[in-house]
A and B are shown apart, each in its own frame.
Chain A
Amino acid sequence: MQAPEPVLPIYGLMAEFDTPSQLIAAARHVRAQGFRRVEAYTPYPIEELGKVLHGGRSRLPLLVFLGGLFGGIGGYFLQYWVHVIHYPLNSGGKPLNSWPMFIPITFEMTILGAALTAVFALLALNGLPMPYHPVFNVPRFSLASRDRFFLMIRSIDPKYDEPVTRQMLFDLEAHDVFEVPP
């Protein structure tokens, strides 16, 4: 006898909306109802949604600043160490720590450190690369990169109750509501 396949709980419910304003209104409502594990998917950035769902603050600028600081100090120290400590070389009678001539490379390394941090922190904080994600199991979801707007409520949300949540999404003018397989 084969064991029956274990029934995994679904990942969540996904509602499809026709317009960005419907999605924003729905996201507001859902948040006001006390849902926490909510995410919205749109074809282009909508600032409003970030504020409604995630508070609109990001650690990125601080990380980028630190990356730039690290690059700049590292760049200057590299030149200082080479020309003052490891291999002092008199070049045109200039002082060994001829700091004005170290500025260009210090500047470039600052930019490089900050830019690398910006990109890799963006990817890390967004959890990319991510080879598998349940939202892609919904066939209509491919339109999230074209002209449709989606709102998803995770099944692990404490407020989640499938029939009630589904009805709520329809009441919010959802075009359709899909179950997202895990």
Chain B
Amino acid sequence: MDDHHQSAETHEPWARPDDRAPVVEPGHTFASVTDQISSIVLTRGVQRGWLIGFGISFAITMLLLYAITMTVAVGVGLWGINVPVGWGFAIINFVWWIGIGHAGTLISAVLLLLHQDWRTSINRFAEAMTLFAVACAGIFPLLHLGRPWIFYWLFPYPNTMSIWPQFRSPLIWDVFAVSTYGTVSLLFWYVGLIPDLATLRDRAHSSIGRYVYGFMAMGWRGSAAHWHRYHVAYTLLAGLATPLVVSVHTVVGLDFASSIVPGWHSTIFPPYFVAGAIYSGFAMVMTLAIPLRWAYKLEDFITMRHLDNMAKIILATGLIVFYGYLMEAFFGWYSANQYERYLTLNRALGHYRVQYWALMFCNAAVPQLLWFGAVRRSVWALFVIAIVVNVGMWLERYVIVITSLHRDYLPSSWGYYAGTRWDWAIYIGTLGLFLALLFLFIRLLPMISIFEMRELVVHKEGELRAADLEE
């Protein structure tokens, strides 16, 4: 037996005993994970911290409603957009929010297919984050239409005007990609919730709780037949969501790349956008996970192992994004095109150089700290880095949208851009909407997938028992 162990250690270094932090702290049973997670929703009631957080974010949501009302009533003239910078905040924020959403799908779908069991305790709220981020993202292109009340013209429906969308336009691809993404994310999230809604139905004390959760659980009984089909459907949905998430940000990248604007007309855009989306999304998951695990005492479920793994993904995707920046600069020189060359120099030295170098600081320099294990083990350092990355990714979209547009081919049509207070109000307003929805979510639904935690407990127990037997 000893010999066997020896050889396993020398020949298979990956088979060494796992000295990393566990994905769920030892000592948990089916009952304890069920009770602890469902108690957040069912028994702890409305707490002061929650009320304050929800109150503030709800107030900011009211700001959003006010700004939207003004925009619809007066028009997009309230915004900073004009010729030549016609895209402005609306597109920056759209791309930023959509990108944030992508980590949720990645965690729930890709890591499921790769059998990464550490995803289990973060996938539910990451999926919720996706859903709310897509909702925030969707607001911007709709308002940017200028006449949002006829948004349905974007969809192909038989109409008396006998006109159709131009299907060769990436902007119409966007309509299909984002609406499909929103729909599939919602379905995936809801399917994942059904067994947990049944758990809440069975645990709820109030008749309203039993009725509402029972209604939403649709009569789920957890029978072998149910679970069997459920498993098949859930895996298939994960398999469908994986290429979908790549396609969505590819299409967003194509919105830019298929134009002839200097700085946008580049083949690197789709892959570099996808990497940036995952990068910013994981940063947002981290930004949310750290306060949540502290406030709801979930350190047993969202362990340092999760934070460490997420930090490594942020570092890896951050390096891909940095490679993208380097390649953009390289293309500026190598293309020998005077407009590309001018654009590259203008980004680094022109009117928007502060944003450009701030972006480089946030996305290229700061994430390099994650190489150090000590940084990855410090909750505070991770929280600060995650926020810096969120800011950096917003600046990235700012630099891409604004610097390219404000210097067109014709110097006569050059101009400058700055967001107005209405631009800021809508942007900050969507942050409020996002947080308000998240607060409602953690109060009303289980933020960690309970049935998947039970599976995790079984697997961990099985491993422990096997280890005991060997000894």
A122 lies within 8 A of B191 (CB): yes
Proximity bits, A94-110, B CB within 8 Å = 1, else 0:
10001001101101110
One of A60, A101, A128 near B232 (C-beta < 8 A): A60
Which residues of chain A from 145 to 169 have a CB within 8 Å of any chain B CB? 145-147
Query: Knowing A53-B225, A82-B164 touch, does A20 contact B458 (C-beta < 8 A)?
Result: yes
Q: How many angstroms between the C-alpha atoms of A125 and B233 in the bound complex?
A: 11
Q: Is the CB of A44 within 8 A of B454?
A: yes
Contact with A along B157-170 (1 / 0, CB 8 A): 00000111111101
Binary interface profile of B, 182-210, with partner A (CB < 8 Å = 1, else 0)?
Answer: 01100110110011001101110000000
Q: A82-B167, A104-B176 are in contact. Are A115 and B223 (CB under 8 A)?
A: no
B413-471: which residues lie under 8 A (CB-CB) from chain A?
Answer: 451-452, 454-455, 458
- How far apart sit A111 and B166, CA to CA, in the bound complex (Å)? 21
Specify the main secondary structure of chain A where it touches its partner: helix
CB distance from B16 to the nearest CB of A (A): 29
Contact between A104 and B173, CB atoms less than 8 A apart: yes
Cα distance A98–B168 when bound, in Å? 8
Q: Is the CB of B198 within 8 A of A61?
A: no
Kindly state the separation between the CA atoms of A64 and B224 in the bound complex, as whole angstroms. Answer: 21
* A129 and chain B: residue at smallest CB distance: B218
Return chain B residues, CB-CB under 8 Å to A83.
Answer: 164, 167-168
B184 A147 Cβ-Cβ under 8 A:
no
Q: Closest approach, in angstroms, between the C-beta of A51 and any C-beta of chain B?
A: 8
Given contacts A45-B227, A50-B227, contact A130 B218 (CB under 8 A): yes
A125-B229, A146-B202 as given contacts; A119 in contact with B237, CB under 8 Å: yes
Q: Tally chain A residues at the interface, Cβ within 8 Å.
A: 67
With A82-B156, A119-B233, A147-B29 as known contacts, state yes or no: A142 contacts B222, CB within 8 Å: no
A91 and B458 alpha carbons, distance in the complex (Å): 59
Q: How far is the CA of A161 from the CA of B233 in the complex (A)?
A: 36
Whether the pair A121, B233 counts as a contact (CB closer than 8 A) is yes
Q: Report how far A42 CA is from B199 CA in the complex, Å.
A: 11
Interface presence of B240 (CB below 8 A): yes
B219 with A147: CB separation less than 8 A: no
CA distance A182 to B172 in the complex (A): 54
- 12 A-B contact pairs sorted by A residue (CB < 8 Å): A41-B221, A43-B222, A43-B451, A44-B451, A50-B227, A52-B224, A53-B224, A58-B228, A82-B164, A115-B237, A126-B226, A146-B31
5 interchain residue pairs of minimum CB distance = A50-B228, A130-B219, A129-B218, A147-B30, A142-B202
Interface residues of B (CB under 8 A from A): 29-31, 34-35, 156, 162-168, 170, 172-173, 176-177, 180, 183-184, 187-188, 190-191, 194-195, 198-199, 201-203, 218-233, 236-237, 240-241, 243-244, 247, 251, 254, 451-452, 454-455, 458
